[in-house]
Amino acid sequence: MSPLFPPLVTLWAFIGQVLDPDQSCNRALARIQAHRATNGLPPLSCDTGAYCKARQRLPEEIFPRLCLRLGTTLAAKADSPELWFGRRVKVVDGSSASMPDTAANQAEYPQPSNQKPGCGFPVVAFVAVFCLATGALLALSMGKWFLHDLSLFYFVRDAFVFGDILLADRGFCSYAELALMKQRGVDSVLRLHQRRKPDFRRGRILGLEDHVVTWTKPARRPRGLREADYRRLPDSLKVREVRYQVAVKGFRTREVTLATTLLNADIYFAEALAELYFLRWDVELDFRHLKITMQMDVLRCKKPAMVRKEIWAHLLAYNLIRSVMWEAAKHGSARARQLSVKGTMQHVLSFRETPALGELDDLPLKLVGRQIVPYRPDRIEPRVRKRRSKNYRLMTRPRAELKAALCG
């Protein structure tokens, strides 16, 4: 590693780069120049090539190792008031991001098949596990865009340990996942898959539209399920199905049916399950913070290895922000989940540039603790945009062909 770009400085600059609204390498190099000036070191060349090469030399495995260790440590700090019935809830969901249209990226993460060659962008799909109490990211798996979320979920199952609760939407609702999680000592709360049609006249009735039924093992191994996992499945499984109505005006969903292995209705009553599933929306906000607030929706690197590093750098920065929010919550009356991610990022970016930060004691944390997002229950917004986009045609042919047509 070049002495001008030691590993810690390069990693520090990379994390700052993904946090900064200007995510250019030139901005990251400028930050290193300022750091060197503060420490009485001579300036470097303004060419960003050396910094980019230093990023490439960083071991790829160091990013997930640091990110997941930080997330696990943060999640372990959640105590009884932050837990659900004394149990840790972990939320799973999938998403995707695009990247520059290079041959290397296309080979590793091809663009969707409905896009013409040269007119689309490579897409990476991923499934993530978040801690519901702290918002920390605990696990992530990546793959090609056409892989189903359940296929990617296989690689993050180890994030669940005995006593946890899995919370997810209907895309993860399958007999196999419910049974495999139960074998780990993990209960699940999932929205019932649309292909399953519950009949609340059958089974052990627990209440109005609340019963326990027996699901049976599929006669044939589902596509995407590994043979070893299929053989481990029990022949049957007791599953509780709960249906409730959503009476909030403007909400798209009017009726929700849950499938869960929490069978004791005296402890886990139906209203509590409905409230817990409503909190699943937090994972959508977590992804919004990552993809929109932290600009991970459109990646910048041109090689697959660097794309993965860029994703993990975003996730590491995200867990650092969540850690700051957790510490800031101790200085105020709000919970960590009530604090603003955007506001925390702004304070972190501002005070990071202050040389005398050590003299400020807990001022940054106190200011972050005041960045409370207003409580707006049942808030709804129409999915429309007021600002009009530029009146340009969509690209339907590769750029080289369009340039040739202009010159011809």
Find the range with the poorest average confidence among 95-109, 242-256, 347-361: 347-361
Segment 270-284 mean pLDDT: 94
Position 392 pLDDT exceeds 60? yes
CA atoms of 223 and 155, how far apart (whole Å): 16
Higher pLDDT, residue 282 or 376: 282
The alpha-helical segments, DSSP class H, found in 133-210 are 149-153, 175-183
pLDDT of residue 233: 95
Higher pLDDT, residue 254 or 300: 300
Position 386 pLDDT exceeds 50? yes
Residue 225: phi and psi, rounded to 5, are: -90, 130
Segment 247-261 mean pLDDT: 82
For the chain, give the percent of residues with pLDDT over 90. 71
Distances from the Cα of 192 to the Cαs of 16, 59, 256, 308, in angstroms? 41, 41, 8, 33
pLDDT of residue 388: 84
The model's pLDDT over 172-219, given as tens digits with 9 standing for 90+, comes to 999 999 999 999 999 999 999 999 999 999 999 999 999 999 999 999
In 3D, which of 322, 357, 185 has the Cα closest to residue 262? Answer: 185
Find the range with the poorest average confidence among 80-84, 131-135, 172-176, 311-315: 80-84
Find the range with the poorest average confidence among 230-239, 273-282, 369-378: 369-378
CA atoms of 139 and 204, how far apart (whole Å): 36
Position 358 pLDDT exceeds 60? no
**Third-level CATH fold of 62-286:** Transposase Inhibitor Protein From Tn5; Chain A, domain 1 (3.90.350)
- pLDDT class for 384, splitting at 50, 70, 90? confident
Global pTM? Answer: 0.92
pLDDT of residue 325: 93
CA atoms of 130 and 140, how far apart (whole Å): 9
CA atoms of 275 and 252, how far apart (whole Å): 17
pLDDT of residue 352: 67
Segment 329-335 mean pLDDT: 82
In 3D, which of 273, 278, 279 has the Cα closest to residue 258? Answer: 273
Contact predicate 13/51, CB 8 Å:
yes
Segment 118-123 mean pLDDT: 93
Segment 135-164 mean pLDDT: 95
DSSP conformation class of 262? -
Find the range with the poorest average confidence among 81-90, 304-313, 370-379, 394-403: 370-379
Position 290 pLDDT exceeds 90? yes
pLDDT of residue 278: 92
pLDDT of residue 27: 93
pLDDT of residue 362: 75
pLDDT of residue 253: 66
The model's pLDDT over 124-137, given as tens digits with 9 standing for 90+, comes to 999 999 999 999 99
- pLDDT class for 251, splitting at 50, 70, 90? low
Instruction: Give the domain ranges of the chain.
Output: 1-58, 62-286
- pLDDT class for 353, splitting at 50, 70, 90? low
Position 234 pLDDT exceeds 80? yes
The model's pLDDT over 26-79, given as tens digits with 9 standing for 90+, comes to 999 998 998 888 888 899 999 999 999 999 999 999 999 999 999 999 999 998
Position 155 pLDDT exceeds 50? yes
Position 356 pLDDT exceeds 70? no
Residue 182: phi and psi, rounded to 5, are: -65, -35
Mean per-residue pLDDT of the chain: 91
Higher pLDDT, residue 404 or 84: 84
